[in-house]
Amino acid sequence: MLNPRGIVMSSARIVLLVASIAITTSSAQIYRTTAAAGYTATFLLGSSATNLIFTPANNDSGSLYVTGSRFVGAQSGLTVRFLHALDERARWFVPVSIEAIFFRGKQRQENLHYIGRAEVAADMFSLSAGLQYRYADLPLAQAFLYASIEPRLSLVEGPHFLYLVSDKATGQVIPDYSIDTTLKPTVFRGGGALRLGAQGVLEEKVLINLSLAWGAFNLIGRDMRTTDRNRRAGLLTPTTIFQTSEPIEQFLQVSLWVQYPF
């Protein structure tokens, strides 16, 4: 005859055993050192660089001014990131990242005889190091939530402006009307970001990391000159037309990385 008390005790032992295995497995999956690589999409917030490349004159002359970059929507980038735990419980980490962002904007102008195609391009390369905290563990995929603060140093190329005018009938480029120039120098800027993310196990020793970051590229080192002809004005605009001092460039980033422990 089966003993109900014995069945309950046996079941309890099994549950405890499974729980112990799960806890052990969970602890083992919090790797102390990992390397990650993946895609980062950057969105500029309230930036003059998101404006149209051409701005019409405030008269009937038909003139156009080059004022913006049309860096609208997600700007593609790549990130390589290293993470190392500072404590035995692997709650605190030091993240070090190398990031490349490729800003691209295009605009087309057309009249009865000609087609004008404008493109602005600027690349940014950043190095960041900060502090990350694992604040919540999740029950699935050995996942956890984290928050981090990440100061960054960025090398910002001068935006390159290319304007090609072609004959509408023949499609041939007209060199006399075309422009290929970079008017601003490459500069260094200091900034930072706050990041919220989640990390989990995709399969054995392969982790997935999804995060959202908000920050600014140029909190330190901005050009505050307002009228000097050599001023920077917008960090990511090709000219200084209709612009004064360099404003803060805020951004939002969405990142998806694959991580590997070592």
- Residue closest to 197 by CA, chosen among 34, 46, 75: 34
Distances in Å between the alpha carbon of 157 and those of 161, 188, 231, 248?
Answer: 12, 9, 15, 16
Domain ranges (residues) in the chain: 1-29, 31-261
Q: Which residue has the tokens 């260094």?
A: 188
The tally of CA atoms less than 13 A away on the side-chain side of residue 1 is 3
Which CATH class, in words, describes the domain spanning 31-261? mainly beta
Mean pLDDT, rounded, of the chain: 88
Residue-wise pLDDT for 103-137, tens only, equals: 999 999 888 889 999 999 999 999 999 999 999 99
Q: Are 152 and 220 in contact (CB under 8 A)?
A: no
CA distance 129 to 125: 14
What's the burial of 15, exposed, middle or buried (CB within 10 Å: 0-12/13-18/19+)?
exposed
Q: Are 168 and 113 in contact (CB under 8 A)?
A: yes
Q: Are 107 and 221 in contact (CB under 8 A)?
A: no
Residue 239 contacts by C-beta under 8 Å, 6 or more apart in sequence? 65, 66, 67, 161, 183, 233
Question: Does residue 19 surpass a pLDDT of 50?
Answer: no
Q: Are 40 and 79 in contact (CB under 8 A)?
A: yes
Using pLDDT thresholds of 50, 70 and 90, give the confidence band for residue 11. Answer: very low
Residue 162 contacts by C-beta under 8 Å, 6 or more apart in sequence? 118, 119, 120, 121, 179, 180
For residue 77, what are its two tokens?
A: 């980038």
Say if pTM beats, i.e. exceeds, 0.95.
no
pLDDT of residue 62: 61
Q: Residues 1-7: what's their mean pLDDT?
A: 43
pLDDT of residue 29: 56
pLDDT of residue 59: 59
Q: Which residues pair with 165 in a beta bridge?
A: 116
